[in-house]
Chain A
Amino acid sequence: MIKKQFTFFDIFLTLLAGIFFTFILLVFLMLFTAVSAGQLLHQLSSPLVFASIRISLQTSLIVVCLTFIFGFPVAYLLSLKTFKGKEFLDSLIDLPIVLPPLVSGLALLILFGGDGIIGKILGHWDIRIIFSQKGIICAQLFVSAPFFIKTVKESISAIPEEVIAASATLGASSFYTFRCLILPLSKNGILAGLAMTWTRAMGEFGATSMVAGCIPGQTETMTIGIYMNAMSGNLEAAVAVGIILIGFSFISLFILKIKFSRSYGYHY
């Protein structure tokens, strides 16, 4: 076995990586040391903090379900089918990832507002999106679904064409191939995509605040709560919610890393 020796270049890279790792760690450490365990528990028992956690969990889980329902067909079509305008659609789907969330929020506000195309139509049935939890869901869906679509699309595209062709030559219908081949083979991608979508939805602030505002107990999500509490000087509450949010994100990413990062590799 070749013994790997650390070269000067490796040491240099390790030093740079160490600086960055320390920076990340310090940011989290500072947050955790800002409040005591007692203060943390006290803040968590506050009805407003509890409500923001409930709203965030509720809306983000609905977003995860909606993302799977609408995002999976998009990812399936973009990865397996060839059609005119595919590249345009593909780029369009990726756009919310790079778009500033405030711009996304502004666009959603115009679309769902009283004078917006959809806002007007929904207004006839007395359905209000703006300043409601429905608005939170729309904003989170718009911003976070592309993460799922992108991950699943890559996962489906990684299935070799011959494997899908083999299924067809064996007499499998498109639906059978989807159910028995594509779905299980892209399972890790789907779960990873859902986890990323959930984490992103939980952490969404810009678009959500534009569309849903920050009505405590109604549209105040965890991130909005952090902002509002920090701005009003209630740092303890902001930190408490922040720690909970970090906990959710870290656990979800950690499970993602250890459970779903393994791919089939299509051993030939």
Chain B
Amino acid sequence: MGIIIKNIYKSFAKQAVLDNLSLTVKKGEFHVILGPSGEGKSTLLGVMAGLIQPDQGDVYIQQQRVNKLAPEKRKIGFVFQNHALFPHLTVYENTAYGLRARGVNGKKIKKIVAHYLELVKLQELHDRYPFQLSGGQKQRTAIARALAFEPDALLMDEPLSHLDVLEHERIRDELKRIQTATQVTICYVTHDHSEAAALADKISILHNGRIEQVEQPEDIFYHPKTSFVAEFVGANNIFTANLIDVNEGISRFRLNSSESIAKLEIEAKTYPVFTRNTEQKLCLHPEKIAISHTPNGKNSFLARIIDIIPQGAVFKVTGEISGLKLRAVVPKTSFKINSHTEKIWFTFPPDALHPLCGRSCRAAIPQRVCKNINFE
């Protein structure tokens, strides 16, 4: 077992930052904690590393309760957002620092440092000082330094946020390669969901000091369980609807949107949580909407185009259907669209919709899990 966090509370100036937070990071897992800025992600890493003392709760590393253990005794590597390299030491000396501090003998240090500098491809720059390195090289040094003493887990606090786009992508890919090669348990904090999607085996969404959802990236992005997660990961077509009919596994809903002029009806795959005459929140991922010039089966609506934003290989299309805004992400190659296009059909299959958990984020439950939702 890697790291277990149990019912952690931490407040600063009477403001709760971590609020009854529980989390499990399995051994060898690349676990990403994703959340907006100021939600307590860095505080959580600080608690794991022993740099911040929680007000309540327990931290277990490799099944050992480490609450009272000082950071230097926890065997946890930490990569900081600002690298936190030692400016008076070379790349080699920075990497060897943890080994020297632990009293490893000189010959062994040389061998280990050479191995990790090779892993991060910095062997040529071993005698450079931090001020002589680029942002990416600094971050690779920080990674080598944190890995060199072979920690039980590696904590990373937004390590790529200070890098330019090219360096960001390069280091991100290298990080994934290094984790695969070393099989080290990584707990990685970021606010960037594309970064999380590229790196994570598992993602935890942190919101208001608690974990909102823990799942594999695919499930987080395409099956968010709460409105917050849905909006945060970009699955931002969220409807409030009333179930009016269920027939052969398909449920018919009438939308309750205040924006909508006409009472639109949509069909969705039936989930056990659906009950007649109760309000239900439904989520539709923009990537699951297809656009066409003609209607295309069930859930086809003619939309007036409000906005088209080209973004890489896709278009982000915002359309309006009787006052209701729908956002679609479609590949540029799949459809010809231009500034003169005024109306277009938005279509999505019934299984593209899934229910969101109705519980509020501050509901008094031990951990927010929506057990009765079946995504099969």
Interface, chain A (partner B; CB < 8 A): 160, 162-163, 165-173, 176, 180-181, 184-185, 264-268
The smallest beta-carbon distance between B58 and chain A, in angstroms, is: 20
User: What 0/1 readout, one digit per residue, does chain B (319-339) give for beta carbons within 8 Å of chain A?
Assistant: 000000000000000000000
- Give which listed residue, B77, B78, B97, B130, contacts A172 with CB less than 8 A: B97
Chain B hits for A267, CB < 8 A: 87, 130-131
Q: CB distance B80 to A166 under 8 Å?
A: yes
The smallest beta-carbon distance between A146 and chain B, in angstroms, is: 27
B149 is an interface residue with CB less than 8 A from chain A? yes
Chain B residues 102 to 153 lying within 8 A of chain A, measured CB to CB, are 102, 130-131, 138, 145-146, 149
Q: What is the bound-complex CA distance between A268 and B145, given in angstroms? A: 16
Q: CB distance B88 to A184 under 8 Å?
A: yes
Q: CB distance B83 to A171 under 8 Å?
A: no
Q: CB distance B78 to A166 under 8 Å?
A: yes
Q: CB distance B98 to A165 under 8 Å?
A: no
Q: CB distance A171 to B162 under 8 Å?
A: no
Q: CB distance B97 to A165 under 8 Å?
A: no
Question: Which B-chain residue is minimally distant from A266 (CB atoms)?
Answer: B87
B49 is an interface residue with CB less than 8 A from chain A? yes
Chain B hits for A264, CB < 8 A: 87-88
- Give which listed residue, B49, B70, B88, contacts A185 with CB less than 8 A: B88
Q: What is the bound-complex CA distance between A205 and B20, given in angstroms? A: 62
Chain B hits for A185, CB < 8 A: 86-88
- Give which listed residue, B51, B102, B131, B155, contacts A171 with CB less than 8 A: B102
A-B contact pairs, 20 of them (CB 8 A): A160-B82, A162-B81, A163-B86, A165-B49, A165-B71, A169-B71, A169-B72, A169-B155, A170-B72, A170-B145, A171-B102, A171-B149, A172-B97, A176-B101, A180-B97, A185-B87, A264-B87, A265-B131, A267-B87, A267-B131
Q: CB distance A169 to B76 under 8 Å?
A: yes
Q: CB distance A171 to B86 under 8 Å?
A: no
Q: What is the bound-complex CA distance between A181 and B78, given in angstroms? A: 17
The smallest beta-carbon distance between B370 and chain A, in angstroms, is: 36
Q: CB distance A166 to B84 under 8 Å?
A: yes
Q: CB distance A163 to B84 under 8 Å?
A: yes
Given A166-B145, A172-B72, A267-B87, 16 more contacts at CB 8 Å?
A162-B84, A165-B71, A165-B84, A166-B85, A168-B50, A168-B72, A169-B77, A170-B72, A170-B145, A171-B101, A172-B98, A173-B72, A185-B86, A185-B88, A267-B130, A267-B131
Chain A hits for B72, CB < 8 A: 168-173
Q: What is the bound-complex CA distance between A173 and B97, given in angstroms? A: 12
Contacts A265-B131, A267-B130, A268-B162 hold; do A168 and B84 have CB atoms under 8 A apart?
no
Q: What is the bound-complex CA distance between A264 and B88, given in angstroms? A: 8
Chain A hits for B86, CB < 8 A: 163, 166-167, 181, 185
Interface, chain B (partner A; CB < 8 A): 49-51, 70-78, 80-88, 97-98, 100-102, 130-131, 138, 145-146, 149, 155, 162
* Centre residue among B71, B74, B84, B102 by max chain A CB count within 10 A: B84
Q: What is the bound-complex CA distance between A267 and B82, given in angstroms? A: 9
Chain B hits for A168, CB < 8 A: 50-51, 70-72
Question: Which A-chain residue is minimally distant from B49 (CB atoms)?
Answer: A169
Contacts A167-B97, A171-B101 hold; do A268 and B88 have CB atoms under 8 A apart?
no
Q: CB distance B88 to A171 under 8 Å?
A: no
The smallest beta-carbon distance between B205 and chain A, in angstroms, is: 25
Chain B hits for A184, CB < 8 A: 88
The 7 closest A-B pairs by CB, nearest first: A170-B98, A172-B101, A162-B84, A169-B78, A168-B71, A166-B84, A267-B131
Question: Which B-chain residue is minimally distant from A174 (CB atoms)?
Answer: B72
* Centre residue among A162, A180, A268 by max chain B CB count within 10 A: A268
The smallest beta-carbon distance between A12 and chain B, in angstroms, is: 38
The smallest beta-carbon distance between A245 and chain B, in angstroms, is: 35
Q: CB distance A170 to B82 under 8 Å?
A: no
Question: Which B-chain residue is minimally distant from A184 (CB atoms)?
Answer: B88
- Give which listed residue, A165, A173, A176, contacts B78 with CB less than 8 A: A165
The smallest beta-carbon distance between A109 and chain B, in angstroms, is: 45
Q: What is the bound-complex CA distance between A267 and B137, given in angstroms? A: 13
Question: Which B-chain residue is minimally distant from A187 (CB atoms)?
Answer: B88
Chain B hits for A181, CB < 8 A: 86
Contacts A265-B131, A267-B130, A267-B131 hold; do A170 and B84 have CB atoms under 8 A apart?
no
Chain A hits for B102, CB < 8 A: 171
Q: What is the bound-complex CA distance between A176 and B146, given in angstroms? A: 17
Chain A hits for B98, CB < 8 A: 170-172
Q: What is the bound-complex CA distance between A181 and B89, given in angstroms? A: 9
Chain B hits for A165, CB < 8 A: 49, 51, 71, 78, 80, 84
The smallest beta-carbon distance between B311 and chain A, in angstroms, is: 30
Q: CB distance B83 to A268 under 8 Å?
A: yes
Chain B hits for A172, CB < 8 A: 72, 97-98, 101
Question: Which B-chain residue is minimally distant from A170 (CB atoms)?
Answer: B98
Question: Which B-chain residue is minimally distant from A162 (CB atoms)?
Answer: B84
Chain A hits for B97, CB < 8 A: 167, 170, 172, 180
Q: What is the bound-complex CA distance between A268 and B158, given in angstroms? A: 14
Q: CB distance B80 to A162 under 8 Å?
A: yes
Chain A hits for B101, CB < 8 A: 167, 170-173, 176, 180
Chain A hits for B78, CB < 8 A: 165-166, 169
The smallest beta-carbon distance between B356 and chain A, in angstroms, is: 38
* Centre residue among A160, A165, A169 by max chain B CB count within 10 A: A169
Q: What is the bound-complex CA distance between A180 and B88, given in angstroms? A: 10
Q: What is the bound-complex CA distance between A172 and B86, given in angstroms? A: 13
Chain A hits for B83, CB < 8 A: 268
Question: Which B-chain residue is minimally distant from A164 (CB atoms)?
Answer: B84
